[in-house]
């Protein structure tokens, strides 16, 4: 009866359908000395699992310190990027201020030019008056 049960559990184990308690039963059976002759080939498999379970990795693991260099490099790159964005923003704002001042200066210069043109016209009238006055006074002498 027990051999039939072990064979069914072994079939379930090979198709990856066993529970932990069923695997414990198989482990106990195959690590013992009274294994059926046609199941001896599986005894080596379970013996291997039992010995490998106790194996530990004893070598020291050396961590690569290059990761810290990359960390600081990424921090420096972030700072350079932020300074670049900030200075670009400042230049853009300064350009806007300069354009506004240029536009206001153009308006002031146009107003000055129109007033100067009015003065030039008035001076032209005065020049005609002066020429006429000179003609009158020069003839009378």
Residue 12 lies in a domain: yes
3-state SS, residue 19? coil
Residue 97 lies in a domain: no
Residue 26 lies in a domain: yes
| Residue 91: its H or E element | helix 66-140
Please classify residue 43 by burial: count the beta carbons closer than 10 Å to its beta carbon, then call 0-12 exposed, 13-18 middle and 19+ buried: middle
Structure tokens at 5: 């049960």
User: In terms of pTM, does the model score above 0.75?
Assistant: no
Q: How far, in Å, CA of 45 to CA of 56, rounded?
A: 19
pLDDT for 107-134, tens place per residue?
999 999 888 888 777 777 778 878 888 8
Residue 76 lies in a domain: no
Residue 126 lies in a domain: no
Residue 111 lies in a domain: no
Q: Tell me the percentage of the chain whose pLDDT exceeds 90.
A: 27
Q: DSSP character for 32? A: S
Q: Which residue has the tokens 């146009």?
A: 110
Structure tokens at 1: 């009866």
pLDDT for 63-78, tens place per residue?
776 667 778 888 899 9
> What residue numbers bound the domain in which 40 lies?
2-53
Query: What is the tally of structural domains in the chain?
Result: 1
- What is the per-residue burial (b if ≥16 Cβ within 10 Å, else e) of 15-36? eeebeeebeebbbebbeeeebe
Q: Is the pLDDT of residue 105 over 90?
A: yes
């Amino acid at each position: 009866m027990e051999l039939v049960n072990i064979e069914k559990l072994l079939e379930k184990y090979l198709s990856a359908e066993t529970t932990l308690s069923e695997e414990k039963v198989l482990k106990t059976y195959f690590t013992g000395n009274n294994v059926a002759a046609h199941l001896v080939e599986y005894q080596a498999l379970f013996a291997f699992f039992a010995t490998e379970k106790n194996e530990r990795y004893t070598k020291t693991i050396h961590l690569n310190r290059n990761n810290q260099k990359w960390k600081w490099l990424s921090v420096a790159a972030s700072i350079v990027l932020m300074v670049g964005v900030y200075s670009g923003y400042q230049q853009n704002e300064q350009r806007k201020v300069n354009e506004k001042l240029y536009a206001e200066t153009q308006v002031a210069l146009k107003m000055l030019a129109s007033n100067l043109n009015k003065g030039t016209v008035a001076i032209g009238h005065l020049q005609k008056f002066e020429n006429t006055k000179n003609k009158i006074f020069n003839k009378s002498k």
